[in-house]
Amino acid sequence: AKDLGVPIVMHDYLTGGFTANTSLAHFCRASGLLLHIHRAMHAVIDRQRSHGIHFRVLAKALRLSGGDHLHSGTVVGKLEGEREITLGFVDLMRDDYVEKDRSRGIYFTQDWVSLPGTIPVASGGIHVWHMPALVEIFGDDACLQFGGGTLGHPWGNAPGAAANRVALEACTQA
């Protein structure tokens, strides 16, 4: 990737495995590349009430394994989740110190000391009309990944991207 001039590498840490992810994270850091983490297959693991692993645990494991960005759900859009629980694991991904808060699914205080954080990526069915909610939910320390909601703009891709940018600036500067 570096030889091709690509600034970012995408990897799925669940299907690729944690050992491969850690090796790739070390390579990307040493090479000055960003590591974007996808979470395909997570629903098979984290949405089973009688067995499985909660996404909060998977997000912590990713932070330990290494990765710059991780798809985190949105609360709005097609990858909806419970707001407080989603915000709880978003905090675990990006904050250095997280206080216990059972309402957000944080059952003990977590001090990450100097371990780098992971930027949450909101994606999945989001579009310009979700911008006020996305900014309220994630603040200005997140990555908003728009796909079909932007590409499907009635005036085309460029106006869709411009609409997102204008909405983002309006929401963050308001």
Tell me: the pLDDT tens digits for 30-41?
Answer: 999 999 999 887
Q: Which of 66, 5, 60, 65 has its CA nearest to residue 31?
A: 5
Q: Which residues contact 165 (CB under 8 A, 6 or more apart)?
A: none
The helix or strand, by DSSP H or E, that contains position 170, with its residue range, turns out to be helix 157-173
Residues in the chain: 174
Domains of the chain: 2-124 (3.20.20.110)
CA distance 159 to 36: 26
Structure tokens belonging to residue 157: 């891709």
Q: Which of 53, 57, 156, 150 has its CA nearest to residue 110?
A: 57
Looking at residue 80, its pLDDT comes to 63
Tokens 């693991």 map to which residue?
Answer: 45
Looking at residue 36, its pLDDT comes to 96
Q: Which of 96, 109, 121, 103 has its CA nearest to residue 42?
A: 121
pLDDT in tens, 54-63: 888 999 999 9
pLDDT in tens, 79-103: 667 888 888 989 999 999 999 999 9
